[in-house]
A and B are shown apart, each in its own frame.
Chain A
């Protein structure tokens, strides 16, 4: 019996004869031609076919679905090495070490209080709309951070403690929270940007502020406008840059129904987790100075009001502007006005 390979060899020889005139050589793709040649010279040697398989190219299949024709995709294992390697190990330790460094700083330095006693005169710092924009962004960020951390590190940290059933249930809930809060977060970034961008343009004194790290270690105030250079950096590098990077990469993963390939999703996942970890790490600093780190800053975003001495010591240029314009006006939208606010208005 004439074997298939013999037959193939003859067919190829025939093709080779006809090819130069008929242009068949162009019709057959490179690897197919190589395989046909190989089958003639070394029957049973399928090396060109396996090279084609390892190249990750799509071949013919009747199966429906994206990339169904790809027999072997190699990038998945690269993604696995990156995700389970540097991202999990370095990313995890980065978050832990930054949290520990902040805790150590708190233990050494304690909360930063105003040098002068609070005057009792309150100045209006954040409007109702501004506070709503901030807290929508902040709360959605925290939900995304907690659920994101669970998906990346829960297996190593939480699972051994609470067991498979509860952990899987929590992570499923977390995944859905992450998916549905994500778009809220994206929308609130846009609103937040539009509201706060006007006070975040770089200005004179920012470099001085950065050079002395805002007097964090010396305790010496560097005059700044409504937002200091630290807040501006957090605005541009955190909210704007990392916000956009996280949002775009997140959308690629959130909607897998646009025929994006596995490679695209692997790359998006790496970008998303790296930007997420950096975002969380930076946010630890912001959350620290916004709560226990600096006395009075949480109240500013909670109630909208700051004490006069706080304003003078933390945002001197803004304080002078505000005094000139009589900014200790009452809350526009009838927000929570603390007891001292009425006093502030009477003083004017």
Chain B
């Protein structure tokens, strides 16, 4: 089975928030819930600005799963981390533990009382029957069951956000890095041994991405 992964190419992301919109539209997520967001580092600084789209990263050793008091998380055969909203008690522990800020809580009452946790499902639904009405209502579209990949990655206009089989995605990214022709710097040669001769430019081989 494939091991599903997301990868966001910081050299390509243009902060259009198309992934965010695609996700909201595809999954009809509750108001106030952001399953995916785009964060811009060094915003507005020329030459230093990089954007990243982030959502649940479907960790192999998921902190949310480790701390959940009712053990409502599970991992599918594709390596996607999903949860059962019927079991979720809305304690917020997954939100404390997650490095990426993926778990979201719609407010269910006064004083910030948390409802059932909602997060990115890699467009893989939940424990309900595939493509059922109740699955859609609770978790959104099950695109994997339809033979499709997550809407965010599919919609990405610059193909910065890749989602799918980890091996395939790694191949795509590896090829990009190679074509950029700056592998030594990217992989740390320059960091370790300093820049090359003054004025030396990276190979200007064609197909720059």
* Chain A interface residues (CB < 8 Å from chain B): 1, 3, 5, 7-9, 11-12, 15, 28-29, 31-36, 39-49, 52-53, 59-65, 67-74, 76-77, 79-80, 83-84, 150-152, 154-155, 159, 164-165, 167-168, 171-172, 175, 179, 254-258, 262, 265-266, 269
Question: B156 to chain A: which residues have CB within 8 Å?
Answer: none
Chain B residues 106-140 with CB under 8 Å of chain A are 111-114
Cα–Cα distance between A117 and B68 once the two chains are bound (Å) = 55
A152-B69, A168-B72, A168-B86 known; A72 and B40 CB under 8 Å?
A: no
Given A72-B99, A168-B72: A32 and B48 interface contact (C-beta under 8 Å)? yes
B89 within 8 A of A: yes
The answer for the CA separation of A72 and B102 in the assembled complex, in Å, is 10
Residues of chain B with a CB closer than 8 A to A46's CB? 10, 50
Given A43-B185, A256-B112, A265-B96, the answer on whether A36 and B202 have CB atoms closer than 8 Å is no
Q: Report the 3 A-B pairs with minimum CB-CB distance, sorted nearest first.
A: A257-B112, A8-B47, A63-B37
Residues of A within 8 A of B89 (CB): 168, 171-172, 175
Q: Which residue of B lies closest to A52 (CB)?
A: B41
A55 to chain B, nearest CB (A): 10
- Asked whether A8 lies within 8 Å of B190 as measured between CB atoms, the reply is no
Cβ of A150 to closest chain B Cβ, rounded Å: 8
Judge whether A62 and B17 touch: CB under 8 Å: yes
Inter-chain CB contacts under 8 Å: number: 186
Contact partners of A152 in chain B: CB under 8 A: 69
**Contact check: which of A28, A41, A255, A269 meets B112 at CB < 8 Å?**
A255
> In the complex the two chains form, what is the Cα distance from A171 to B190 in whole Å?
54
Cβ of A164 and Cβ of B32 under 8 Å apart? no
Report the minimal beta-carbon distance from B179 to chain A, rounded to whole angstroms: 11
Chain B residues whose CB sits within 8 angstroms of the CB of A1 once the complex forms: 208
Q: Could you show 5 A-B contacts with beta carbons less than 8 Å apart?
A: A7-B47, A70-B101, A71-B39, A165-B86, A256-B92
- Known contacts being A80-B63, A84-B66, is A59 close to B46, with CB within 8 Å? no
A77-B99, A83-B67 given; A44·B185 CB < 8 A: yes
Q: How large, as a class, is the contact surface on chain B?
A: 35 or more
Contact residues in A for B93 (Cβ distance below 8 Å): 83, 269
Q: Write out the residue numbers on chain B whose beta carbons fall within 8 Å of the beta carbon of A150.
A: 69
B11 CB within 8 Å of chain A: yes
In the assembled complex, the Cα of A214 lies from the Cα of B50 at a distance in Å of: 68
- Taking a contact as CB atoms under 8 Å apart, the answer to whether A31 and B100 are in contact is no
Q: State the Cβ distance, B127 to closest chain A Cβ, in Å.
A: 10
CB pair A35–B47 under 8 Å, yes or no, is yes
Q: How far is the CA of A245 from the CA of B134 in the complex (A)?
A: 43
- Residues of chain B within 8 A (CB-CB) of A53 are 41, 52
Instruction: Write the B78-112 contact mask toward A (1 if CB under 8 angstroms, else 0).
Output: 00000010111111110111111100100000011
Chain A residues lying within 8 Å of B41, measured Cβ to Cβ, are: 49, 52-53, 59-60, 71
Contact B69 A171 (CB under 8 A): yes
